[in-house]
Amino acid sequence: MSKWVFSCWSCRQSTELEDKVRRNDECPHCRTDMHACKNCQYYDPGAHNDCRETVAEYVPDKERANFCGMYKAFVGEREAVADLTAAKSRLDALFKKK
């Protein structure tokens, strides 16, 4: 069986896996649920229901394990997380918020 690398949305660390992600699996580094929307390749905060898969049913908590049959684990490197503090400071400066 071939191995592949899983990348956690929460801690951004990689884990080598030999099998698919099961509903009760947890990240070995941070213990967050692995079978969650934020770890799915279809997760897209800009899409309807935050999902690019149109037949997936709505899942309210994107960070918790779910039963979505369309789940496909995210593989590869994740984009860098935006620095929200810096962005907020720039917005405050733009609107001269004190």
Taking 80 as the threshold, does the pLDDT of residue 78 lie above it?
A: no
Query: Cα(39)–Cα(36) distance, rounded to whole angstroms?
Result: 5
Taking 60 as the threshold, does the pLDDT of residue 65 lie above it?
A: yes
Residue 21: DSSP 8-state: P
Confidence of residue 20 (pLDDT cuts 50, 70, 90): confident
CB contact set of 48 (below 8 Å; sequence gap of 6+)? 54
Q: CB atoms < 10 A from the CB of 38, how many? A: 17
Q: What is the mean pLDDT of residues 29-38?
A: 95
Higher pLDDT, 73 or 92: 73
Task: Give the global pTM.
Answer: 0.75
User: What's the confidence (pLDDT) of residue 85?
Assistant: 76
User: What's the confidence (pLDDT) of residue 82?
Assistant: 64
Domain range list for the chain? 1-77
